[in-house]
Amino acid sequence: MKIVGLTGGIGSGKSTVAQMFRELEVPVYDSDEEAKTLMISSKEVKEAITALLGKKAYREGFLDRAYIADKVFKDPELLQQLNAIVHPAVRAHFLEWAQKKSVPYVIQETALIFENGVQSNYDFTILVTAPREIRLRRVMERDGATEQQILQRMENQLEDEEKINLADFCIENVELETTAQKVKQLHTKLLALSAPKF
């Protein structure tokens, strides 16, 4: 089975494209969602986070996201230490999940693949792109976020121009119908690439 990484900048439409692959019956693992779950459900992850950030990281068993964000976003080293706890746990959980699927390929949707230099974890990578202005507008509408807040989040991400050279496949997501067509074509290609060679 092949492992495909799906990524893209904020508001590019990763989740939208992921949903289109699901509709073609491709199993998609949502790393962000699974990370949130593991941070609560995994005893080891929870203990390591408490040791790193203190008991206040959890309130009545739930993650205090505002407290954690406040601590790690002004301290890059602490963020790196938090990632060093969460990323390997997500990777192990993903591989366990993937092992149970009997399909030619599975997709792992992850916000930061090239930024974290983890592209070698994948047989193929897909980058979703969209013009910056469109991405800003989408996220402002979706999250009610200000332009400044989104630009701040974009700062942690590489520009599309840099990522395009690193990705195996790119999907520009502007018109939904065109995107769905591109997803179908790429699915056919990935099925061919995932077929066992005799």
Q: Which residues make up the interface to ligand ATP (CB under 6 A)? A: 8, 10-16, 111, 138-139, 142, 173-174, 176, 179
What is the closest distance, in whole angstroms, from the C-beta atom of residue 13 to ligand ATP in the complex?
Answer: 4
**C-alpha span between 117 and 119 (Å, rounded):** 6
Find out whether 15 is annotated in a ligand binding site. yes
What is the closest distance, in whole angstroms, from the C-beta atom of residue 110 to ligand ATP in the complex?
Answer: 10
Contact 111, 156 (CB under 8 A): no
* C-beta closer to ligand ATP: residue 43 or 142: 142
Chain position carrying tokens 């009610």: 144
What is the closest distance, in whole angstroms, from the C-beta atom of residue 42 to ligand ATP in the complex?
Answer: 23
* C-beta closer to ligand ATP: residue 60 or 177: 177
What is the closest distance, in whole angstroms, from the C-beta atom of residue 125 to ligand ATP in the complex?
Answer: 15
Structure-block tokens of residue 185: 């074509």
Find out whether 16 is annotated in a ligand binding site. yes
Dihedral pair phi/psi, residue 129, rounded to 5°: -125, 160
Instruction: Give 1: exposed, middle or buried? Use CB within 10 Å, 0-12, 13-18, 19+.
Output: middle
* C-beta closer to ligand ATP: residue 106 or 130: 130
**C-alpha span between 177 and 78 (Å, rounded):** 42
Find out whether 188 is annotated in a ligand binding site. no
* C-beta closer to ligand ATP: residue 14 or 46: 14
User: What DSSP designation does 2 have?
Assistant: E
Contact 38, 86 (CB under 8 A): yes
Contact 107, 26 (CB under 8 A): yes
What is the closest distance, in whole angstroms, from the C-beta atom of residue 128 to ligand ATP in the complex?
Answer: 6
Find out whether 102 is annotated in a ligand binding site. no
What is the sign of the dihedral through the CA atoms of 151, 155, 156 and 162?
A: positive
Count H helices, E strands: the chain? 9, 7
Find out whether 179 is annotated in a ligand binding site. no
* C-beta closer to ligand ATP: residue 18 or 48: 18
Binding residues: 11-16
Binding residues for ATP: 11-16
